[in-house]
Structure 1
Amino acid sequence: MDSQPLTPEQLSERWQCSKTLVIRTINEGKLSAFRLGKKHFRIPIEAVKEYEACLVKSNCIEGSGVKSGTRAEKLAAHHLVRQISKKRSGV
């Protein structure tokens, strides 16, 4: 993957989640992003990698608010951690 920033749609495909969850994560301040105009977000790949690394560490999940979040957020975080682990192990 190159160093171009990702759109919420691209990140939702990478994470296998909804675009809405990606945007909510940005709006809650858990994932760094910048705006293009009034409506469009772009997410630097460095921010994506940092967030993914943080999620893999269980103490970071607690610090990110997922522990106290909704059931859907907890499931999404769990799913994302599994996807990242699979990519790292080459499965």
Structure 2
Amino acid sequence: MTPEHVAERWECSAETVRQMCRRGELPHFRVGRMIRLRPEHIEEYECRTTGSENSTDDLSSHGTRAGTAAASGLTPQQRARLRRRPAR
């Protein structure tokens, strides 16, 4: 996925997504100078940052634990928008 795709999904700017990559908050890789993000890493990040009272830290579908990641970097408004999104 491109930063633009993620930004559209999260209703933020592509620059915000790029800054999160630079800060190490989002796993990414480069193809030349272009930033690319794996969909499973985006989903994992969303699960970590939009947890509810009924959620658990176990992300067994990805084989990782939520506690191993960096801080979210999203504003409270961005987190609220993500929580309201229907599951795909």
- What is the SS of the residue equivalent to 2:24? coil
| Structure with more helix by fraction | 1
Pairing of 1:4-83 with structure 2 (within 5 A): 6-37=1-32, 39-57=33-51, 64-65=70-71, 76-83=74-81
Letter in 2 for 1:13: E
* Structure 1 portions without partners, runs of 5+: 1-5, 67-72
What TM-score, normalized to structure 2? Answer: 0.68
What TM-score, normalized to structure 1? Answer: 0.66
Q: Which residue of 1 aligns with 2:60?
A: none
CA root-mean-square deviation: 2.4
Aligned positions, number: 73
Distance 1:81 1:65 in 2: 13
| Structure with more strand by fraction | 2
Q: Percent identity?
A: 28
Shift of 1:65: 4.0
* Structure 2 portions without partners, runs of 5+: 53-65
Distance 2:48 2:76 in 1: 12
Q: Which runs of 4+ in 1 moved over 4 A?
A: none
Contact 2:3 2:35 in 1 (8 A): yes
